[in-house]
Amino acid sequence: MKKLLSLLLVMALLVTAFAACAKADEPAATGDKEVVKENKGTDIGIVLPTKEEPRWVQDEARFNEAIDATDYSVEVLFSQGDSAKEKQNVDTLIAKGIKVLIITPQDGAAAAAAVKSAKAEGITIISYDRLVTDTDAVDYYVTFNSVSVGEAQGQYLVDQLDGATGQNLYLYAGAATDNNAFLFFEGAWNKLQPLIADGTFVVMNSSKAVEYMDKAVLTRVEMGDIIEQITTDWTPGVAKSKAESHITAAPPTGKTFVLAPNDGTARAIYDQFAKEDGIEILITGQDAEIQSIQYVIDGKQSMTVLKDVRDLVKGAIGTAIDVLEGKTVETNGEYDNGVIKVPAKDTKVITVTQDNVKAAIIDSGYYEASEFTGVE
């Protein structure tokens, strides 16, 4: 009997001890939750390229919305177009104890050093929208399908042809330090090249594009040769001055087709061409920036490509949480970054023109109707 009593006592003590342990591990209720988060430091660090473009400011806002719905903490820093600042941002986040880094590099190759030092600390690296190149220190790539963005732009221009040959075509591209600039151009070339080769389009502003016009598939070096001539550096000011000199060198006439790589540069290029009398401008874009949606509504910019940032953010945060919780990350493709094939999550895009702008942008809840004039 004595034995039984002491056994019961030991068991009772053990149960109490377990209960106390369990309580210490549990996040404390309500008000204490923030403290628990704070003690853990920052879980996910996000580094975006610049606050100067609405595209990335929107990504920040959508990240904050998405993370509010989870128990994890996140900090977003901007590199302001500067790789040194980007490296500093990554170091700051490493010091805060992040477990996952989500990064959109300013310059894909230059970011290799920053992600390498994060990787050395055991941090999982997710390249977001733009690929970090020339390193094996990238774990995942969450992106829109950038070749399909270029294909949507090229296809739009092809669809506006009316059977006539010798149509003016002006080509523009993104920054050569951004791997996406190559993917966008590759996609556009897939659609435009056959019609350049057969004389339907005449390229007005790139001797290299003319030199390679019979090549359906360009090497990276050949693409680089063309991009060097027509790059906007993703900067509206550069786009504007290039357009100005191209117009002077080879003035547009009649129906004028313009491949513009994104919305910021499209508006700058459009405004320049719009100064010419008697031409009809057909010009592409991408990002569905608010100002460009207004240009589409007003019949100025002809199209944009909606890359629904909500989906991309969901993909990136989902990947980060899977990593934090030790789950398997689902991917549906891979991208070669020059050193490794990075497992990727690819997201689809939508072409937006005056015909579907209301359905795709407003009815879908992407932006409020009150942001625009001329839509009912």
Three-state SS at 151: helix
Between 79 and 180, CB nearer to ligand BGC: 180
Residue pair 185/222 in contact (Cβ under 8 Å)? The answer is no
Task: Choose, by CB under 6 A, the member of 234, 273, 295, 366 that binds ligand BGC.
Answer: 234
Give whole-number Cα distances, 113 to 88, 95, 133, in Å: 11, 16, 10
Residue pair 284/171 in contact (Cβ under 8 Å)? The answer is no
Q: Which of residues 281-310 bind ligand BGC (CB under 6 A)?
A: 286-287
- Least distance from C-beta 242 to ligand BGC, angstroms? 16
Contact window for ligand BGC (CB under 6 A) among 174-182, 274-282, 296-304, 335-343: 174-182
Residue reference for tokens 């008697």: 278
Give whole-number Cα distances, 132 to 283, 336, 338, in Å: 29, 10, 10
Detail the DSSP E strand segments found in 110-220.
124-128, 140-144, 167-171, 201-203
Task: Choose, by CB under 6 A, the member of 46, 47, 48, 53 that binds ligand BGC.
Answer: 53
Give whole-number Cα distances, 177 to 131, 247, 338, 344, 374, in Å: 11, 26, 14, 20, 38
- Least distance from C-beta 331 to ligand BGC, angstroms? 19
- Least distance from C-beta 179 to ligand BGC, angstroms? 8
Does 153 contact ligand BGC by CB under 6 A? no
Contact window for ligand BGC (CB under 6 A) among 172-180, 213-221, 240-248, 274-282: 172-180
Task: Choose, by CB under 6 A, the member of 62, 130, 246, 267 that binds ligand BGC.
Answer: 130
How many helices and strands in the chain, by DSSP H and E?
14, 13
Between 151 and 287, CB nearer to ligand BGC: 287
Q: Which residue is nearest to ligand BGC (CB)?
A: 262
Task: Choose, by CB under 6 A, the member of 42, 55, 268, 320 that binds ligand BGC.
Answer: 55
Q: Which two tokens stand for residue 301?
A: 């910019």
Q: Cα(288)–Cα(273) distance, rounded to whole angstroms?
A: 21
Between 58 and 200, CB nearer to ligand BGC: 58
Identity of residue 171 = L
Task: Choose, by CB under 6 A, the member of 133, 135, 145, 180 that binds ligand BGC.
Answer: 180
- Least distance from C-beta 129 to ligand BGC, angstroms? 5
Does 78 contact ligand BGC by CB under 6 A? no
How many residues make contact with ligand BGC (CB under 6 A)? 11
DSSP classification of residue 160: T
- Least distance from C-beta 143 to ligand BGC, angstroms? 8
Identity of residue 222 = E
Does 151 contact ligand BGC by CB under 6 A? no
Q: Cα(173)–Cα(203) distance, rounded to whole angstroms?
A: 14
DSSP string, 270-295: HHHHTTSTTEEEEE---S--HHHHHH
Q: Which of residues 100-129 bind ligand BGC (CB under 6 A)?
A: 129
- Least distance from C-beta 174 to ligand BGC, angstroms? 6
Among the listed residues 230, 171, 222, the one whose alpha carbon sits nearest the alpha carbon of residue 195:
171
Binding site for ligand BGC (CB under 6 A): 53, 55, 129-130, 174, 178, 180, 234, 262, 286-287
